[in-house]
């Protein structure tokens, strides 16, 4: 091992390619799909699906090992997660709302990856490489259970006579819920992963994730939310009334044991995806910072790197601080995904990268709007949109506070009961 900071060539190539997608396909349409919430940029969706199929990536949140022969090609360390993070960062730099509707399994497939059996993976994940763009979503949050996921009320009961699970409950804030569940002609058949309890007296150990196929009877999209930002991405409320799901669609053991494996399945998903969420936020912040620097330059404001702090103007200090924040946050993401690639446990690093990104992407975009004055506040430019888009980074997949809790418990050696 060693300490190195050379961006691997395959990643550089991928970034160059995606940058042109971002510039030509995403940025020109950004404003339109921000203003027409819930309409779908089909050009982007279909292009990305074709492009990703061509390079063999299922387009989900699961890394692709692109070493030609994994067993003999041992000299090249795996960089699947690093590539994924870089890909997400670049797409989010283009438009994070678009990135969120990039076809693929998203968080739904990530849950299957983390908690499913080999048979389940084969059965549920193959669809993302087929002809039509296809989606999956993850349904954890409920009106009465957000950060406190153990409070979910959705119930799954086994019908012994038909060997089916019967699910009842209502899920909110499901990213991509509509595209994953509603049957669109242009889309393949997707699924949602629904978290429910098979034994409410068992607390977290009673929690299981169920794959619910699109079109399942008793399941309906109740509404799509109107949001501050990421408006190209649909956020659905989904109700389940006596929805019947095949027995084999439960991820993990179908019976309650005294451990918390089911819940740990969800947490394993988050360890893997938190740095990726951080990466998406960082893409937005980079867009904002680059825009800010460009506009300052146009207006003859030069940033004098290298001067002592007390000789800099306030704007120079702000921009330099933003540079530091952005780069350091990105390095934290890189370290977390590098650990994932190298099979090192990274729960601490994952949550730290999310804490850091949540903080700095909001700060950078908010500061950039301030510095740009009326230009920052105007919808003539995308800066105000990036400000709105960035904020979600500190909220979903564990709020900044919840990730601080995770970090604190790890460094202090505390359980959830010792530090609430």
Partner 1 sequence: MYSFEPNEEQQMLIDAMGKYAVNDLRPAAHDAEESRELPKKLIGKGWELGLLQASTPEAYGGFGDRSAVTGALAIEEMAFGDLAGALAVMTPSLFATPILLAGTEAQKQEYLPKIVGGNWSPYTAALIEFNFDFDPNALKTSAKLSDGTYVLNGEKAFVPFAKDAEAIIVYADLDGVTQGFIVPKNSAGLTISAEREKLMGLNALPMYRVKLEDVRLPAENRLGGEAGHDFELILASMRVASASAAVGVAKASFEYAKQYAKERDAFGVKIAQKQAIAFMLAEMITEIESMRLMVWEAAWKLDNGKDDSAIAAYLANTGAADMAMMVTDRGVQILGGHGYIREHPVEMFLRNGRGFAMLVGLAIV
Ligand X SMILES: Cc1cc2nc3c(=O)[nH]c(=O)nc-3n(C[C@H](O)[C@H](O)[C@H](O)COP(=O)(O)OP(=O)(O)OC[C@H]3O[C@@H](n4cnc5c(N)ncnc54)[C@H](O)[C@@H]3O)c2cc1C
Site string for ligand X, 163-192 (x = CB under 6 A): ----------xxx-----------------
Distance CA 145, CA 50 (A): 38
Site string for ligand X, 137-156 (x = CB under 6 A): xxxxx----xx---------
Q: How far is the CB of 409 from partner 1 (least distance, A)?
A: 8
Neighbours of 226 (CB within 10 A): 9
Q: How far is the CB of 124 from ligand X (least distance, A)?
A: 17
Is-contact 25 14, C-beta < 8 A? no
Buried b (16+ CB within 10 A) or exposed e, 70-102: eeeeeeeebbbbbbbbbbbbbbbbbbbbbbbbb
The pairing of strands 164-175 and 207-213 is unpaired
Q: How far is the CB of 347 from partner 1 (least distance, A)?
A: 13
Q: How far is the CB of 230 from ligand X (least distance, A)?
A: 6
* From candidates 71, 161, 226, 309, binder to partner 1 by CB under 8 A: 309
Residue 338 found at the interface with partner 1 (CB under 8 A) = yes
Residue 79 touches which member of partner 1, ligand X, none, C-beta under 5-8 Å by kind: partner 1
Neighbours of 2 (CB within 10 A): 3
- Interface positions, 47-76, toward partner 1 (CB under 8 A): none
Backbone angles phi, psi at 196, to 5 degrees: -145, 165
The yes-or-no answer on residue 37 being catalytic is: no
Q: Which residues pair with 159 in a beta bridge?
A: 164
Torsion of CA 218, 222, 227, 232, to 10 degrees: 60
* From candidates 308, 314, 343, 374, binder to partner 1 by CB under 8 A: 308
Residue 1 found at the interface with partner 1 (CB under 8 A) = yes
Q: Smaller CB distance to ligand X: residue 34 or 397? A: 397
Q: Where does this chain bind ligand X (CB under 6 A)?
A: 107, 137-141, 146-147, 173-175, 227, 235, 392, 395-397, 399, 401-402, 405, 420
Which residues participate in catalysis according to the annotation?
Answer: 397
């Amino acid at each position: 091992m060693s300490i190195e900071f050379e961006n691997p060539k395959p990643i550089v190539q991928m970034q160059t390619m995606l940058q042109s997608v971002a510039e030509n396909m995403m940025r020109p349409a950004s404003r339109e799909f921000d203003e027409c919430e819930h309409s779908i940029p089909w050009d982007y969706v279909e292009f990305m699906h074709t492009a990703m199929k061509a390079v063999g990536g299922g387009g989900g949140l699961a890394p692709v090992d692109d070493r030609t022969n994994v067993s003999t090609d041992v000299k090249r360390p795996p960089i699947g997660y690093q590539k994924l993070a870089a890909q997400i960062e670049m797409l989010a730099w283009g438009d994070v709302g678009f990135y969120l509707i990039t076809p693929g399994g998203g968080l739904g497939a990530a849950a299957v990856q983390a908690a499913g059996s080999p048979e389940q993976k084969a059965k549920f994940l193959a669809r993302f490489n087929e002809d039509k763009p296809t989606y999956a979503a993850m349904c954890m949050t409920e009106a009465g259970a957000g950060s406190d996921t153990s409070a979910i009320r959705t119930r799954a009961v086994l019908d012994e006579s038909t060997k089916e699970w019967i699910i009842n409950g209502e899920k909110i804030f499901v990213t991509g819920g509509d595209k994953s569940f509603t049957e669109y002609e242009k889309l393949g058949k997707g699924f949602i992963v629904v978290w429910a309890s098979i034994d409410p007296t068992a607390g977290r150990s009673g929690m299981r994730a169920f794959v619910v196929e699109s079109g399942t009877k008793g399941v309906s999209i109740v509404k799509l939310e109107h949001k501050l930002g990421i408006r190209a991405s649909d956020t659905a409320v989904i109700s389940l009334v006596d929805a019947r799901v095949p027995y084999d669609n439960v991820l993990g053991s179908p019976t309650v044991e005294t451990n918390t494996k089911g819940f740990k399945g969800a947490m394993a998903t988050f360890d893997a995806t938190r740095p990726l969420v951080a990466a998406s936020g960082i893409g937005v912040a980079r867009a904002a910072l680059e825009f800010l620097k460009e506009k300052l330059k146009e207006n003859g404001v030069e940033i004098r790197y290298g001067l002592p702090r007390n000789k800099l103007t306030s704007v120079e200090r702000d921009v330099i601080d933003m540079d530091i924040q952005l780069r350091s946050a990105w390095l934290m993401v890189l370290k977390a995904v590098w650990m994932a690639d190298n099979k090192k446990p990274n729960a601490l690093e994952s949550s730290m990268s999310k804490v850091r990104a949540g903080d700095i992407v909001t700060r950078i975009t908010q500061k950039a709007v301030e510095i740009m004055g009326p230009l920052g506040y105007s919808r003539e430019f995308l800066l105000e949109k990036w400000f709105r888009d960035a904020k979600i980074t500190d909220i979903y997949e564990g709020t900044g506070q919840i990730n601080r809790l995770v970090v604190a418990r790890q460094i202090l050696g505390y359980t959830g009961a010792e530090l609430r």
